[in-house]
A and B are shown apart, each in its own frame.
Chain A
Amino acid sequence: GAGVSQSPSNKVTEKGKDVELRCDPISGHTALYWYRQSLGQGLEFLIYFQGNSAPDKSGLPSDRFSAERTGGSVSTLTIQRTQQEDSAVYLCASSLSRGGGNEQFFGPGTRLTVL
């Protein structure tokens, strides 16, 4: 596709369940980022992947959060044992490469609601 796609667009889950969120970046983009936006907050950095380098996981809020990027393309963000405070919009972005001069292209996001 022409842009970054994410699925599902909405996810409602019960507290304690695991969820997987998917991101398909723009073809050829080597850098992939995950952010989340909680109500009334800015975009909180979670993790990014750059090519074959080890991912920067410094933004992951707890060990319940993990992410993978298979084959340098699709990425999955997994949240285990979800909590109500995990409710947010999870946004994925990709860019041609790392560095502040490379604009990120965002997907539409996945709205996660934990009941």
Chain B
Amino acid sequence: DQQVKQNSPSLSVQEGRISILNCDYTNSMFDYFLWYKKYPAEGPTFLISISSIKDKNEDGRFTVFLNKSAKHLSLHIVPSQPGDSAVYFCAASAGNRDDKIIFGKGTRLHILP
């Protein structure tokens, strides 16, 4: 029973173009969403988050969009750079109700030269 789903195991994007990583969730109690980035042989690092009271959060080249009615969020990276090649994990939690953060399986992003 996966509560956080990343249905694309991998994605290839040309350098300079926009990368869009998608994530769906099933638990309507989730109210806080995070994206983590992971390089090989390293632990995940926090990238960007969004609270359910917002539908968009932007930080430099990274923007996260949240569609609560569709239980869907996406991470946009523009322009994509070679250093963005990594595995991206979507994660969600129900805030103070249940602080366990549930992770998706990840999407491997390849930025092509």
A: residues with CB less than 8 A from B are 4, 31, 33, 35, 40-43, 45, 48, 50, 56, 58-59, 91, 93, 98-109
Within 8 A of A (CB), among B1-48: 4, 6, 31-32, 34, 36, 41-46
B101 contacts which of A4, A104, A107 (Cβ < 8 Å)?
A: A104
Which of A50, A100, A108 has the most chain B CB atoms closer than 10 A to its own CB? Answer: A100
Contact B46 A42 (CB under 8 A): no
Of chain B, the residue at the smallest CB distance from A56 is B100
Contact B101 A100 (CB under 8 A): yes
| Inter-chain contacts of B41 with A (CB < 8 A) | 108-109
Contact B43 A99 (CB under 8 A): no
Of chain B, the residue at the smallest CB distance from A50 is B99
B: residues with CB less than 8 A from A are 4, 6, 31-32, 34, 36, 41-46, 49, 51, 89, 91-96, 99-106
Contact A98 B99 (CB under 8 A): yes
For the A-B complex with A42-B103, A108-B42 known, give 16 more contacts whose Cβ atoms are closer than 8 Å.
A35-B103, A40-B105, A41-B105, A42-B89, A42-B104, A43-B44, A45-B103, A48-B99, A59-B100, A91-B43, A99-B95, A100-B31, A100-B92, A103-B34, A105-B45, A106-B44
| Inter-chain contacts of A100 with B (CB < 8 A) | 31-32, 92-96, 99, 101
